[in-house]
């Protein structure tokens, strides 16, 4: 399969994940609350593990251990910090946020921008190495699942129809594919190696700043241990994938 085919396929698959939000319509509220935070913890581990075990090592092979490489990691981190501040957008607290119609539009705009940047970054990893791209996609997909569950719930509570919420969620997710195609096109005239450390910075920001705070302050120690176990399991999975796929 060609690199472009990998990029397009991964973009379509990521967009399809937006449909998972409809699960909130059939799950009981108690069940949804019980599985959401462990999923968030698992997503945090996959993003952080993916950054440390895959993105950063691959980027350092290209750049070497120099200031430019770490500048791009920091840039990726900072861009997502600025994006979140600009849009007042927080991945995992949306389900508990006040459900006002303007908020729902804000969520869709934020998701669209985030997915576009994510598509640029993930496509950049496919352009470097397909194995790296697959790993980065898996880490990003693990993060998308709990995010989409929260998004869909907020859209429904904010007055959207089920059909409208699904269509708009998928539309905002398709910007991931758009970002991937833009990155592929740019690769013919630009050196896109910087997208690997940039994506690592994205992953570190989302995992450490956005997701970990959601799961590390529960008062019940048993629940905390479940969250820690989910985090460790996903980090371990990222390590196993690295060993299996090679360096």
> Which alpha helices (H) appear in the chain, and where do they start and end?
3-16, 29-50, 56-63, 67-87, 101-128, 130-157, 162-173, 175-186, 195-204, 212-215, 221-245
Give the model's pLDDT for residue 71: 92
Give the model's pLDDT for residue 188: 84
Residues 6+ apart with CB under 8 A from 76: 121, 197, 198, 199, 200, 201, 202, 204, 205
Give pLDDT tens digits for 89-120. 444 444 444 444 455 676 677 677 778 888 88
Give the model's pLDDT for residue 182: 93
Taking the C-alpha atoms of residue 36 and residue 42, their distance in angstroms, rounded to an integer, is: 10
Identify which of 108, 100, 96 has the alpha carbon closest to the alpha carbon of residue 36.
96
Mean pLDDT taken over the chain = 80
Give pLDDT tens digits for 187-227. 888 887 788 888 888 889 888 887 788 788 777 888 889 88
Taking the alpha carbons at both ends of the chain, their separation in whole angstroms is 21
Domain boundaries, the chain: 41-245
Give the model's pLDDT for residue 160: 77
pLDDT beneath 50: ranges in the chain: 89-101
User: Exposed/middle/buried for 8, CB within 10 Å: 0-12, 13-18, 19+?
Assistant: middle
């Amino acid at each position: 399969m060609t690199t472009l085919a990998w990029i397009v396929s991964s973009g379509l698959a990521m967009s399809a994940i937006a449909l998972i939000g409809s699960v909130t319509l059939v799950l009981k509220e108690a069940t949804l609350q019980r599985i959401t935070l462990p999923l968030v913890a698992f997503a945090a581990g996959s993003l952080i593990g993916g950054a440390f075990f895959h993105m950063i090592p691959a980027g350092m092979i290209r750049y070497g251990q120099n200031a430019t490489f770490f500048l791009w990691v920091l840039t990726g981190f900072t861009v997502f910090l600025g994006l979140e501040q600009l849009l007042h957008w927080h991945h995992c607290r949306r389900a508990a946020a006040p459900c006002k119609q303007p908020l729902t539009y804000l969520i869709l705009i934020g998701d669209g921008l985030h997915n576009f940047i994510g598509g640029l970054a993930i496509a950049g990893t496919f352009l470097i190495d397909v194995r790296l791209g697959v790993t980065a996609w898996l880490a990003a997909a693990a993060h998308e699942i709990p995010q989409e569950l929260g998004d869909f719930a907020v859209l429904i509570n904010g007055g959207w129809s089920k059909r409208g919420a699904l269509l708009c969620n998928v539309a905002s997710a398709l910007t991931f594919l758009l970002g991937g195609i833009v990155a592929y096109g740019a690769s013919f005239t630009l050196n896109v190696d910087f997208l690997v450390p940039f994506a690592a910075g994205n992953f570190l920001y989302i995992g450490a700043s956005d997701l970990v705070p959601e799961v590390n302050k529960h008062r019940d120690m048993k629940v905390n241990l479940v969250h820690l176990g989910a985090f460790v399991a996903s980090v371990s999975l990222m390590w196993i994938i690295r060993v299996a796929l090679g360096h």
